[in-house]
Structure 1
Amino acid sequence: MMINVKACKVGNSISISIPKQYHVEAGSEYVVYKSKNGGLIFTPKIENPFLSDEPFPKDEDEVWQTIAKEEIEKNV
C-alpha cells in the first residue's frame, strides 16, 4: 500500500509525518540516506556491532556474523 505524505516547515527544519500504521515510536532515531534520484531512505539507528566482542543473537542472519568477523579481523 502506498501512502502519500507532505513535507511541512517546522521552525528552520522540514518535517514529514509518519502515519501511525507504521508503528514508529516517538523518539526513535534513524539514519537518513539520499539516493541519486533524490529518494530518502530511513534506516533505524543501531549501535555499531563491530565495536563489540559479544556474539550476535542467535536469530541474526549468518551473513552479518561473517561480515562482523571479517571487520574485526581487519582491525586487530
Structure 2
Amino acid sequence: MFFLLIVPLLLAIVGIIGIATMPGITLIACVILMVVLNGWANSEGSGALALVPLMIVTFLIGFCSLVVFVIELFK
C-alpha cells in the first residue's frame, strides 16, 4: 500500500519539474511510460487496479507537458 501512494507522488514531483524544464522530453517519457504501464496492466489481469493511480498521474503529466510544449512552440 505504501508503494501505491509514494510512487505516484514521486512521479508527480518529477513530472512537474520535467514540465518546467523540458516539456518535450517529459512528453516522450510519459508516452513511453503509458505504453509500459498498459502492457503491464494487461499482463496483470485483476492486479491492474493497483496501476490506475500511476496511469492517471502519467496521463496528467503527459497532457500538461503537451500543453506547455505547444505553448513554447508558438511563443
Normalising by the residue count of structure 1, what TM-score does the alignment of the two structures yield?
A: 0.28
Richer in helix (by share): 2
Richer in strand (by share): 1
For the pair shown, the structure with the greater C-alpha radius of gyration is 1
Normalising by the residue count of structure 2, what TM-score does the alignment of the two structures yield?
A: 0.28
